Structure 1
Amino acid sequence: MPGVTSALGAAAAAKIPLTDRRFASKVVFVSNHAAGDTPAVWDDVISQDATHVVYMPGADYSEIAARLSAGGLNGRTPCLVVANATLAEQQIHRTTLHQLALEPRLPAPALLIIGEVARPLPHFEGEKASPRAASKPHEEVLHLTDTPIRA
């Protein structure tokens, strides 16, 4: 949808907020690519009380994980790798900062959501818990459905 950043769509599809008063008082949007001749420098915006969204993460997630760890984020910090957000071929992989380098490279367009808000939320009353809820974080994959939602 024009005018709506893919981070909002990705977070909504993953059923997570981008801010949460318990964990993240701000959201930091960064690109992993240079703007013209200006290198992508975002080390000064890494913060433990923020959700970090990395657009165009490229193929080397280990470099991003190392930069975020060097900036003070814990290796257990939850991460989502989201490709084709809000489209039928959407893929969402859940992992941690420590395990991020082991994630398969998802097709572009992709983004990363890093922070405590990316931790799986408990299921809502009346919903069935996912059978994957007990699986390792990096094994969980979510997909969109073509089933209409009734209000």
Structure 2
Amino acid sequence: MQKRIEPFGKVVFIGAGPGDPELITVKAIKYLQKADIILTDRLVSRAILEEYVHPGAEIIYVGKQCRKKQSTPQISINELLVEKAKQFPLVVRLKGGDVSIFSNILDELETLVEHHVDYEIIPGVTAALGAAAYAGIPLTARNYANGVRFITYYKADVINQHYWNELASTSDTLVFYMSSETLPEVVKHLKDAGIDEEKEIAVIEQGTTPYQNVYTSTFNDYNRILGTRQFVSPSIIIIGKVVQLHDEFIWMTNAGSTESYFPEVNLSPEKEVNNVTRA
């Protein structure tokens, strides 16, 4: 293995969970309390940054804001990780949900390996598991589902027709990430592929947060109940027989609010630091 030319710090990837700050792991908290610098996504509870990051740490927002213009390019994030690892002993890369589910961790890991930077990966509660639990929907309930699939559909060429046919016929629970804006297309593709129109859909807005809302319908009733609704980001979509269990096992009432739990921030490719007030 090639030796390092200059000393580097360590980068720790941490999954912050889907919203509820109490879902973060004990190990993650210990690293946040020791870190010199935090590179954080937008979809991380403000409470985590206020309560667990030590006062002397530098915090930089480097996340993406869906299709909005103000997002930090991935190459800038990669460069920042290496730059900050040269300057500080401990750098935390804080991601919403779990660090490895529909994130760009691969690009960041490859960059660290290329520059011989040590790293560690600490998992978090991914949005599918957190949102489903807080909605009272057991994703692999016996006699309701044989398995669960995590999928994303944000543009037309992500899923081919063969796979739509498979998704329409499976008894697995389907969980779509980052797909609330394309939900009408998802429904149309699955209907065209012959999905049972009595199968149910749940859309969970801002799951595990105080602003969580859950909306359900069958495919048959989708246009009437959900077809014209705009969902607050982030939203997760669950499709399958398990959605039937929501009404029976719901334990968290809908917030009935469209307020955003995750405020928009000034994401800066110019590496601008955003101050966070800590309690």
TM over 0.5: yes
Structure 1 residue aligned with 2:209, among 62, 87, 91? 87
Offset at residue 43 of structure 1 (A): 1.7
Offset at residue 122 of structure 1 (A): 6.7
Name 2:174's counterpart in structure 1.
52
Determine if contact 1:48/1:72 at 8 Å carries over to the other structure: no
Cα gap change, 1:71/1:92 in structure 2, threshold over 3 Å: closer, same or farther? Answer: same
Determine if contact 2:153/2:182 at 8 Å carries over to the other structure: no
Are 2:154 and 1:33 equivalent residues in the alignment?
yes
List runs of 5+ in structure 1 lacking aligned partners. 131-140, 145-151
Q: Which amino acid aligns with 1:143?
A: N
- Indicate the SS of the match to 2:217: strand
The structure having more radius of gyration, on CA atoms, is 2
Q: TM-score w.r.t. structure 2 length?
A: 0.41
Residue range with higher mean Cα deviation, 10-19 or 64-73: 64-73
Determine if contact 2:165/2:194 at 8 Å carries over to the other structure: no
Name 1:4's counterpart in structure 2.
125
Query: Which runs of at least 4 in structure 1 moved beyond 4 Å after TM superposition?
Result: 121-124
> Identity of aligned pairs, percent?
28
* RMSD (CA atoms): 2.7
Name 2:221's counterpart in structure 1.
99
- Indicate the SS of the match to 1:120: helix
- Indicate the SS of the match to 2:129: helix
Q: TM-score w.r.t. structure 1 length?
A: 0.71
Q: Which amino acid aligns with 2:150?
A: F
Number of residues paired by the alignment? 127
Determine if contact 1:65/1:101 at 8 Å carries over to the other structure: no
